[in-house]
Chains A and B, each alone.
Chain A
Amino acid sequence: MVGNITPQCARLMQQLAAADFFATDMKLYLDTHPDDTKALEIYREAVKQAKAAKHAFEASCYPLCAESAGEGCSWNWLNGLWM
């Protein structure tokens, strides 16, 4: 396994995985229930939570997306757990 992660970042990663998974699952549900307005509301809220969790992770750990990389003065895209 290439790379490593601190216990604090592993906790933030767990929170991100849980939040984003909820959004992923709601997305699949909406594909076959596009007129369910209650589900749509839940989905929008889930996406908001997932974005916040991703931001929290990237702010104190390492970039998860290349577009968040390189904001310091180093190519920090290489950092973190790759798989």
Chain B
Amino acid sequence: MFIFEKRLEFPVVIKNRNPKLASYILSQYGGPDGELAASLRYLSQRFSQTDKRAVAVLTDIGTEELSHLEMIGSIVSQLTTGEGARSFDRYGVGDYFIDHANAVYPANASGVPFTAAYLQSKGDPIADLTEDLAAEQKARAVYDNILRMCDDPDVSGAIRFLREREVVHFQRFGELLDLLQAKIK
């Protein structure tokens, strides 16, 4: 079960508003390589694992991804707090405002809604973990792209933290894949 703690894994306090930057970062909320896809992927794959280490890694990383989803939501929300229709329009993201105003909606950077087609759950640990390794690298690459677009230190500090976590998750999934392959042999 899940228990809510009223805090972020990495505290985020953003002083400046920037709806355009928010619309880029939204991709890590509901985009193909985002945190919602990551958490659903791992927390779904965990049910079909037979190795205890695999269940633990998928449960614990999937849970951490939910905390990352929360962080991204907070970043997007803070970047748009108090901004009105005209401001969104000036920043070039008036179309987002028309459908969602200042709300956080699971979509990618160009507004395509989240879909479970972004992830797989195969009932085959080797296939699942190989997808998970790729997913962590793709998420890391998106964070690199966000950092290229971002010159607000309040935002980039949190994005760098999230990027680093993808690297650690990749490492843990790699170790797990090695452990499972050694068991098969």
Contacts and interface: CB of A to CB of B under 8 A. Distances in A.
Residue among B5, B7, B176 with the highest chain A CB neighbour number at 10 A: B7
A32 B7 contact: no
B6 A80 contact: yes
A1 B11 contact: no
Contacts of B70: 83
Interface string A48-75: 0000000000000011111000000000
Interface residues of B, number: 28
Contacts of A17: 7-11
Given A10-B11, A32-B57, A34-B53, A65 B5 contact: yes
A10 B7 CA distance: 11
A1 to B, nearest CB: 5
The secondary structure that dominates the A interface is helix
Nearest to A83: B74
Interface in B1-36: 3-11, 13
B8 A83 contact: yes
Interface string A1-35: 10000000010011011001100110111011110
Interface string B163-185: 00000110010011001000000
B98 interface: no
A54 to B, nearest CB: 9
A42 interface: no
A21 B10 CA distance: 8
A47 B177 CA distance: 27
Interface residues of A, number: 26
Nearest to A57: B7
Nearest to B13: A10
B64 interface: yes
B11 A32 contact: no
Shortest beta-carbon contacts, A-B, top 7: A32-B175, A31-B56, A83-B74, A31-B57, A64-B6, A64-B5, A28-B172
16 contacts: A16-B7, A17-B8, A25-B168, A28-B60, A28-B168, A31-B56, A31-B60, A32-B172, A62-B6, A64-B5, A65-B5, A66-B4, A80-B6, A82-B6, A83-B74, A83-B77
Interface of B: 3-11, 13, 53, 56-57, 60-61, 64, 70, 73-74, 77-78, 81, 168-169, 172, 175-176, 179
Interface of A: 1, 10, 13-14, 16-17, 20-21, 24-25, 27-29, 31-34, 62-66, 80-83
